[in-house]
Structure formats: structure tokens, C-alpha cells
């Protein structure tokens, strides 16, 4: 909740004068309540819907007409129950904001000021009567130069003074708007040190103090009657300082005794105020910085924790248990601060799964057991909630090139977060695990994930196919508060069809026929390292019986489908079309036509005419080059042939359509002559080529050359070369006609020794 959404604060100006003990009361410009103060005390149900408290606030005090809280900016703010109006009384950063510091159980709020001069640290304060709308300035130095402010209950200030021997005495200081009355507390030992306020009710205050030094140190609690300024009972609290909060009601006193200076095991002590019976003691584990209080005959306690902290081993839930022992009840899922109210109820900052984070009143219900009612809401859910996401409905993996930014906004980040991206058709998935609460996160409420466009197939990374996807995120709270939040959504991945992509995942697939006539498909994926830039990911059998063909060529999408196709020529010279389904399989073959036995080499996959469809070229026995332009029609995938090279092509023993490797206007060809020299023929876009350019010599060592398309997703086609021992090498395209390929890289694709495979496309 933003500051702008809260009721405007009322500015208060008070003139503090050190020469007098108290200044006359001055009227404050408070907004008038719309209901009586008496009715406002029990207005929880009617005002919870309209009372707001800023997220991150902590409860400091509770009176009859309103409550005191501090926000994340350090503002100490009083909010009226009747109308929700608020007043900033002080802005303090880095100071302990306890109910004893500002005053407990009253509409009177004290804001002590630190003294830079002589005397104790806090000697001046401003007392605000929030019911009357007045303020008074108080200076304890008018009583004694050794008096120091340590807390307040109602309109009574608790002060300490240092004796000549260095010990401390406790004092009750009353103010009536014009003067101060000082009463020393009787019954404290002469060597008391470090006097602090630990708890209070309407008629008494509980002080802690220590005696002795070093190994002889003992801590004590003293119950002081406010009317008589007398210690009525003391308790031995052990060698370590008692818990920050102690509880005091009309019938009982309770505190936690530490078993070691820093630890989560403590001993709960509960004693009856009017009895000399020793306290009931119970060892409780899992407590860090415990909060403790009493309402009716029930004791409430928990480890104080903000919602975005904590550990499931800690006692984070606010628990209520009868003062005499019994079955505990959970009141809140988590609590950070808790204070007593004048009517015997408690106010706690925390949350429930149903009501979310906010301020809750805890008071005995109809069965005398504590009941919980929300007083004010922060608007923040207690259960981990996925508030939104930036997952697009359509993802173009050509455009993103393996870097898709995704993010989810959560109500809090102390979670273990799992994001699963699953391809609907294949079931292949990518799973990311995050622990954003561990360490710094640049976005406090956001989990960012850059998806690289791959999925896992039996532990191997494969490129994500086109099509429908579901995403599921699960956020499990690390502190155990609330259930795991699960949210799902959908998106669609698409790319342009790639020449050698039969699995519709944007990565090249290599076809290889073995000696038995079986055709295999090897799916590939690029690797981020610099050792193996093209890796085999999946090998699948297309089918048997392919020995009837003497030429098999990957053509790209020539028939208007969603994936790449291939053509195969049989020994009778008939050319057949196998249209890709996009899952690594092909439809039943369709006859393109006969007479193709007159061609020595067939190459397909480059768009030579600039119409966006890959075309096919073939060389005849006379050395001419022919163009077969793709139509996109399954029944007639090629237009009538056109001669584009008159002669000389018989000198080449390998011709490959590579796509646009030279940065020109259209697709290109590479051709290897009988001397092992590789030549580039750069397409003009009209079905013709520029003057050939020599790429280099030494290419005779390869049994097969294959223009596989874009293997590393850099937007440029690449070349695949297979040696006689079955090792496959990878040449990345540069986009330069002068040097169209980079230095070769090894790959993990392997086709066995010489003769294992007799055709690769």
C-alpha cells in the first residue's frame, strides 16, 4: 500500500521548553470521529474493511480510541478506530519501537528525544493525549540530572536514576499537564543495573534488572504496583537476559528464560500474581526473538518474524495455550509484533491465510478461548500468491534466438520456485529451479527466467518444437507458511520452417541411410561451449526400405506444410515427395514425376528465386544446371524446369544448396570439383548466380557435404561435412562472400566407420 493511499497525516508542532517541567496543553487539529470512542473500541468487524495499514508496519501501542504503529519510513503513526484517520507523531529510524518506549495501554503516547548534553540519553519527551488532541512537553532534568526515560504505562513515565555507587533506582513519574510528580520504586535491591520495562497492565509494570558482574550475573523480574510504587514480587530469571517481551495480566506473569545467550530453546515461566507458588516451567524449542502476551486465561507466544523471513523449524505461528497448560490453538500463521490493549485484548501484526496480512485483535471469545478479528489490512496476502507474469501468448524463437525473457511476480520471495515449460504434443519439458530468497535479487517481488528455447529429452537438451505449450510455476514457501502456490498458463511457439528441420524445432536434422537401407534422423542442437558447437541430441529411425533410392535430398518446405520435406529418386528415375509432419515422420509418398534419371546431382533447400520458398537444382550428364522452382503445392511441388547453367557443371562431384551463406539477396550453392576445391555460387534472387568464388582446397577428404541450415541459431546457414571415419565436422556460416565459412568445429554427431552409411542428406 502506498503512502498516497493512506489518510493524510496531521502535522503537529510542539514547542519544548527545558526551563519548565510541563507546558500547558495545546489543542491539536484532529479529525473528528464519526462514532463514539467507546463504540470504536469494538469496531473491529465494521472497520476492518476500511481501515488500512501500510505494508511493513509494526504495532507499537494500543489505546481505547486508536492504535500506534511504525511504518517502513520510520514514521510513528496513530490511527483512530472510528474513521481511520492517522497522525504522524514522530519519525525515527534505527530506534527500538516497543510499546514500553512509547507508552502502553493508553491513548497517551510519549515520543522521547535523545539528549546530546548532560544526563542520561533520554531526558525529554512529548506526551500526546490522542483522545483529547493535546500535547505536553516533558523534561525529566527538572527532577534530577540523573533521571532517564525508559518507558511509560498510561500517563506514568518509568524512569531510572543512577546512584553515586553506579547502581540504578527506578522511578514512577506522573504528569498532569502542568507539573511532574516523582515517586521512587521501593523494593528493588541496592545493586540493580540495566533496569528495563518488560510488560504492563492497567495497574502494574514488570521491570527487569540484573545483579552481579560477569560469571555472577543474575537477571530478575520485579512486579511493581503503580498505585503504591512498590515491588510486590520478584522472580529469578537466570544468568541470561530474559526474552524481550514478558507478559502481564491481572492474574498472571509470564516470561521466557533463555537457556543460553543465543539459541532457540527457552523455558516458559508462568506464575500467578497473587500466589507465592513457584512458576510453572516448560521447555519450548524453535523460538527466536519470541513475542509473548496474555489475554484472559490464555498465553500467546511465537517467534517474531516478518512474513518474508523465518524457517519452518521455528514456531512462527502465534499459538495460544491455557496458562495452566493444555491443548494449544493456532491463532495466526505468523506474527511480528504484539501489544496489550486497555480492555485486556491484544493487537498483533501478522496474518491468516483467509484474511491476509494486517492488524488483528485477539480477545476471549464466547467459549473464553482467544478469538481473532481483523482490525486493519495491508492488502498483502499471507499465502504465497503469484500476482502476475510476463509470459507472452506467442513466442517467436527465430526472433528471440534462444533468449526468451520470462518473469513472474510474487507476493513474497522466500520460496523454492519451480517453472516448468512443457510441449503439449511431445510432453518434453524444461524445468527451472530457483531459490530467490537466498541472496540478493535485483527485483524484490519478481523471479526472472531467460528460457533458452530448449527442452530436455532424457537428459539431453533439444530445441523446443513449434506448437502449443503449457507453463506451470510452483512457489513453495520456505518458512512453511501457507500452501504451495501453483499457476498455469499457455503459449505458442512458432518459427519459419527451416530447410533441414523435420522435427519442427528449429534445429537441423541430418538424414543418414545405412547399408541395410534404413533411414535414420539425427536431431542436433547447438552447444554454448567452444569445443562441440553442434551436438547430436536424438537418433530416431524413419523407416526401412530406402535402398530403392539413389538420391535422397532434404528440400525444406516445398509443399506448403508446417515443416521440412524431402524428395527421393528411385532407380527407375521417378522422384517422390515425402512431406514432413513436423514430428520426425513423413506422410505417405507422393509421385512427383518420372524422367529424373537424367540428373547426376540433385540439390535442394536454397531459395534461389526470392519468393520465400526453397527451390531445387539439378545437373544433367551434359553438365547443364537446371532450376526447379518450388510452388508450395503438394500435388505439383515444382514448376517446369529452367536451364540456368549451360555447361561445366559436370566437373563437380558434390553440389549443395546451402541457403544464404554469403549475405546476398538469395540462397546460394557450393560445389566441390574433382580436385577437392570448393566453390561458392552466390544467388542473385532471380534464379541465376554471380561469378563463382573459390572457397578453398582440400575438401576431397569428405565423403558427404550437407547444407544443413542454421545450426547455431545465429541467423546464418551452416555446412556439415562427414569424413571417411564417420566423424562429422561443422562449418559455421559467416555471411561473407570472401570467406563464407569459419574454421571447422568438431561435433558429437557420428555416422560410424566408412561404409556404415552410404548416403547423408
Q: DSSP string spanning 576-602? A: EEE-B-SSS-BPPPEEEES-GGGEEEE
| Burial of residue 588 (number of CB atoms within 10 Å: 0-12, 13-18, 19+) | exposed
Reported for 725-728, long-range contacts at CB under 8 A and 24+ positions apart, including other chains, are: 725/753, 725/754, 726/750, 726/751, 726/752, 726/753, 726/754, 726/756, 726/757, 728/510, 728/534
Identify whether the C-beta of residue 221 lies closer than 8 Å to the C-beta of residue 235: yes
For 266, the 3-state DSSP assignment is: strand
CB–CB of 447/408 below 8 Å?
yes
Nearest to 207 by CA among 224, 191, 219, 190: 224
- DSSP string of 93-159, one letter each residue: SSS---HHHH-BSSSEEEEEEE-SSSSSSEEEEEEEETTTTEEEEEEGGGT-TT-EEEEEETTEEEE
Neighbouring residues of 33: CB distance < 8 A, sequence distance ≥ 6: 40, 65, 80, 82, 83
Is 529 strand, coil or helix? coil
- How many whole angstroms separate alpha carbon 461 and alpha carbon 477? 30
Q: For Cα atoms 264, 265, 271, give the angle at the middle one, nearest 5 degrees.
A: 125
- Please give the Cα distance from 599 to 625 (Å, whole number): 9
C-alpha cell at 292: 509473548
Please list the alpha-helical segments (H only) found in 360-486: 397-400
Cβ atoms 416, 478 nearer than 8 A? yes
What are the pLDDT digits (tens) for 471-517? 999 999 999 999 999 999 999 998 887 778 888 888 888 898 999 99
CA atoms of 279 and 166, how far apart (whole Å) = 32
Which among 44, 76, 40 is positioned nearest to 60, based on CA atoms? 76
Pairing type for strands 678-682 and 668-673 reads: antiparallel
Torsion sign across C-alpha atoms 632, 638, 640, 645: positive
- Distance between CA atoms of 493 and 500, rounded to whole angstroms? 18
pLDDT of residue 686: 92
Q: What is the pLDDT of residues 521-559, one digit of tens each?
A: 888 877 655 444 677 777 889 999 999 999 999 998 888
Where would I find the beta strands (DSSP E) of 403-518? 404-410, 415-423, 429-434, 446-451, 454-457, 460-463, 467-477, 485-494, 509-514
Measured CA to CA in angstroms, residue 327 lies from 188, 260, 265, 353, 526 at distances of: 37, 27, 20, 22, 62
332/348 Cα distance (integer angstroms): 9
Closest of 475, 485, 493 to residue 422, by C-alpha: 493
Q: In what order do the strands lie in the sheet with 148-153?
A: 148-153, 156-162, 168-175, 180-184
The span from the CA of 169 to the CA of 159, in Å, is 8
- What is the residue whose three cell numbers read 532450376? 627
> Is 552 in a helix, a strand, or coil?
strand
The span from the CA of 114 to the CA of 19, in Å, is: 17
Measured distance CA(550)–CA(283) in Å, rounded:
85
CA pseudo-torsion sign 685, 686, 687, 690 = negative
- CA 391, CA 432: separation in Å to the nearest integer? 15
Q: Which residue has the cell 502476551?
A: 293
Phi-psi region of 275 (alpha: psi -120 to 50; beta: other; left: phi over 0): beta
Measured CA to CA in angstroms, residue 245 lies from 235, 290, 330, 652 at distances of: 15, 7, 19, 91
Q: Which residue blocks in 360-460 are alpha helix, DSSP H?
A: 397-400
The whole-number pLDDT of residue 40 equals 32
Strand-pair category, 298-303 with 318-322: antiparallel
Alpha carbon distance 730, 724 (integer Å): 15
How far, in Å, CA of 457 to CA of 197, rounded?
Answer: 64
Look at residue 677 and give its three-state secondary structure.
coil
Q: Is 561 helix (H, G, I), strand (E, B) or coil?
A: coil
Instruction: Tell me the whole-structure pTM to 2 decimals.
Output: 0.79
pLDDT of res. 34: 28
Nearest one of 255, 259, 289 to 269, comparing CA atoms: 255
List the beta bridge partners of residue 78. 68, 87
Kindly give, in sequence order, each residue whose CB lies less than 8 Å from that of residue 142, ignoring residues fewer than 6 positions away.
20, 21, 180
- For the chain, residues with pLDDT lower than 70 are 1-50, 94-97, 99, 116-120, 261, 402, 438-444, 527-533, 752-755
Beta strand 394-396 with 485-494 is parallel
Q: DSSP string spanning 190-218?
A: TT-EEEEEEEEETTEEEEEEEES-GGG-E
Report CA-CA distances (Å) from 88 to 7, 26, 73: 11, 17, 11
Q: Which residue, 260, 245, 237, is CA-closest to 199? A: 245
Q: Where are the alpha helices (DSSP H) in 385-455?
A: 397-400
| CA atoms within 13 A of residue 143's CA, in its CB half-sphere | 26
What Cα–Cα distance (Å) separates residue 112 from each residue in 125, 127, 664? 4, 9, 79
> How far from 99 is each of 126, 197, 218, 611, CA to CA, in Å?
15, 10, 25, 78
Q: Of 349, 393, 392, give the one whose Cα is nearest residue 372.
A: 349
Predicted local distance difference test score (pLDDT) of residue 325: 86
Cα 669 to Cα 602, 656, 695: the distances in Å are: 12, 6, 12
Q: What are the φ and ψ backbone dihedral angles of 598, each rounded to 5 degrees?
A: -75, -5
Instruction: Report how far residue 711's alpha carbon sits from residue 720's, in angstroms, rounded to the nearest whole number.
Output: 9
Amino acid at each position: 500500500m502506498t503512502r498516497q493511499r493512506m489518510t493524510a497525516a496531521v502535522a503537529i508542532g510542539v514547542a519544548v521548553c527545558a526551563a519548565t517541567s510541563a507546558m500547558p496543553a495545546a489543542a491539536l487539529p484532529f479529525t473528528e470521529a464519526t462514532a463514539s470512542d467507546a463504540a470504536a473500541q469494538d469496531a473491529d468487524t465494521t472497520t476492518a474493511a476500511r481501515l488500512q495499514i501500510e505494508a511493513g508496519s509494526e504495532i507499537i501501542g494500543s489505546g481505547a480510541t486508536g492504535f500506534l504503529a511504525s511504518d517502513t519510513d520510520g514514521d510513528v503513526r496513530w490511527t483512530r478506530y472510528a474513521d481511520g484517520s492517522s497522525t504522524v507523531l514522530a519519525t525515527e529510524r534505527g530506534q527500538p519501537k516497543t510499546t514500553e518506549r512509547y507508552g502502553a495501554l493508553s491513548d497517551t503516547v510519549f515520543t522521547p528525544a535523545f539528549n546530546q548534553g548532560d544526563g542520561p540519553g533520554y531526558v525529554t519527551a512529548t506526551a500526546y493525549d490522542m483522545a483529547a488532541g493535546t500535547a505536553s512537553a516533558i523534561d525529566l532534568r527538572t527532577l534530577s540530572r540523573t533521571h532517564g526515560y525508559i518507558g511509560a504505562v498510561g500517563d506514568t513515565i518509568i524512569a531510572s536514576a543512577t546512584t553515586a555507587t553506579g547502581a540504578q533506582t527506578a522511578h514512577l513519574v506522573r504528569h498532569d499537564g502542568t507539573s511532574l510528580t516523582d515517586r521512587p520504586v521501593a523494593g528493588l535491591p541496592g545493586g540493580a543495573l540495566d533496569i528495563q520495562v518488560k510488560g504492563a497492565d492497567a495497574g502494574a509494570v514488570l521491570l527487569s534488572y540484573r545483579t552481579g558482574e560477569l560469571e555472577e550475573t543474575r537477571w530478575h523480574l520485579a512486579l511493581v504496583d503503580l498505585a503504591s510504587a512498590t515491588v510486590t514480587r520478584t522472580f529469578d530469571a537466570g544468568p541470561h537476559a530474559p526474552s524481550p517481551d514478558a507478559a502481564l495480566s491481572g492474574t498472571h506473569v509470564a516470561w521466557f528464560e533463555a537457556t543460553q545467550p543465543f539459541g532457540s530453546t527457552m523455558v516458559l515461566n508462568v506464575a500467578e500474581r497473587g500466589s507465592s507458588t513457584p512458576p510453572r516451567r516448560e521447555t519450548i524449542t524453535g523460538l527466536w526473538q519470541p513475542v509473548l502476551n496474555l489475554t484472559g486465561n490464555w498465553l500467546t507466544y511465537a517467534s517474531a518474524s516478518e512474513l518474508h523471513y523465518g524457517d519452518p523449524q521455528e514456531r512462527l505461528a502465534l499459538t495460544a495455550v491455557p496458562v495452566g497448560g493444555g491443548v494449544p490453538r493456532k491463532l495466526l500463521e505468523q506474527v511480528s509484533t504484539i501489544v496489550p490493549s486497555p480492555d485486556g485484548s491484544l493487537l498483533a501484526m501478522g496474518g491468516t491465510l483467509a484474511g491476509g496480512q494486517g492488524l488483528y485483535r485477539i480477545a476471549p471469545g464466547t467459549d473464553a478461548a482467544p478469538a481473532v478479528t481483523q482490525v486493519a489490512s495491508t492488502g498483502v496476502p499471507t499465502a504465497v500468491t503469484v500476482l502476475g507474469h510476463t509470459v507472452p501468448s506467442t513466442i517467436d524463437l527465430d526472433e528471440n534466438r534462444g533468449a526468451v525473457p520470462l518473469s513472474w511476480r510474487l507476493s513474497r520471495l522466500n520460496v523454492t520456485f519451480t517453472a516448468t515449460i512443457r510441449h503439449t504434443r511431445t510432453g518434453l519439458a524444461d524445468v527451472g529451479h530457483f531459490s530467490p530468497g537466498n541472496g540478493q535479487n535485483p527485483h524484490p517481488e519478481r523471479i526472472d527466467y531467460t528460457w533458452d528455447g530448449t527442452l530436455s529429452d532424457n537428459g539431453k537438451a533439444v530445441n523446443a518444437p513449434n506448437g502449443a505449450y503449457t507453463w506451470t510455476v510452483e512457489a513453495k514457501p520456505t518458512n512453511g507458511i501457507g500452501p504451495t502456490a501453483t499457476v498455469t498458463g499457455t503459449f505458442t511457439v512458432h518459427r519459419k520452417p527451416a530447410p533441414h528441420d523435420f522435427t519442427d524445432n528449429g534445429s537441423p536434422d541430418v538424414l543418414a541411410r545405412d547399408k541395410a537401407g534404413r533411414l535414420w534422423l539425427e536431431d542436433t542442437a547447438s552447444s554454448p561451449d567452444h569445443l562441440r558447437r553442434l551436438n547430436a541430441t536424438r537418433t530416431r529411425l524413419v523407416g526401412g526400405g530406402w535402398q530403392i533410392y539413389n538420391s535422397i535430398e532434404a528440400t525444406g518446405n516445398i509443399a506448403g506444410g508446417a515443416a521440412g520435406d524431402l524428395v527421393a529418386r528411385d532407380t527407375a528415375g521417378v522422384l517422390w515427395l515425402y512431406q514432413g509432419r513436423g514430428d520426425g515422420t513423413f506422410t505417405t509418398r507422393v509421385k512427383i514425376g518420372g524422367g529424373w534419371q537424367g540428373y547426376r546431382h540433385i540439390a535442394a533447400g536454397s531459395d534461389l528465386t526470392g519468393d520465400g520458398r526453397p527451390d531445387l537444382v539439378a545437373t544433367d550428364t551434359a553438365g547443364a544446371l537446371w532450376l526447379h522452382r518450388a510452388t508450395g503445392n503438394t500435388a505439383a511441388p515444382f514448376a517446369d524446369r529452367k536451364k540456368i547453367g549451360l555447361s561445366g557443371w559436370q566437373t563437380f562431384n558434390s553440389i549443395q544448396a546451402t541457403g544464404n551463406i554469403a549475405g546476398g539477396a538469395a540462397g546460394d550453392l557450393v560445389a566441390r570439383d574433382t580436385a577437392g576445391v570448393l566453390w561458392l555460387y552466390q544467388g542473385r534472387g532471380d534464379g541465376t548466380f554471380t561469378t563463382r568464388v573459390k572457397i578453398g582446397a582440400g575438401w576431397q577428404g569428405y565423403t558427404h557435404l550437407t547444407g544443413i541450415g542454421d545450426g547455431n541459431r545465429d541467423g546464418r546457414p551452416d555446412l556439415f561435412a562427414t569424413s571417411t571415419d564417420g566423424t562429422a565436422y561443422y562449418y559455421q556460416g559467416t555471411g561473407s562472400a570472401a570467406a563464407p565459412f569459419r574454421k571447422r568445429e568438431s561435433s558429437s554427431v557420428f555416422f560410424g566407420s566408412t561404409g556404415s552409411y552410404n548416403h547423408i542428406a
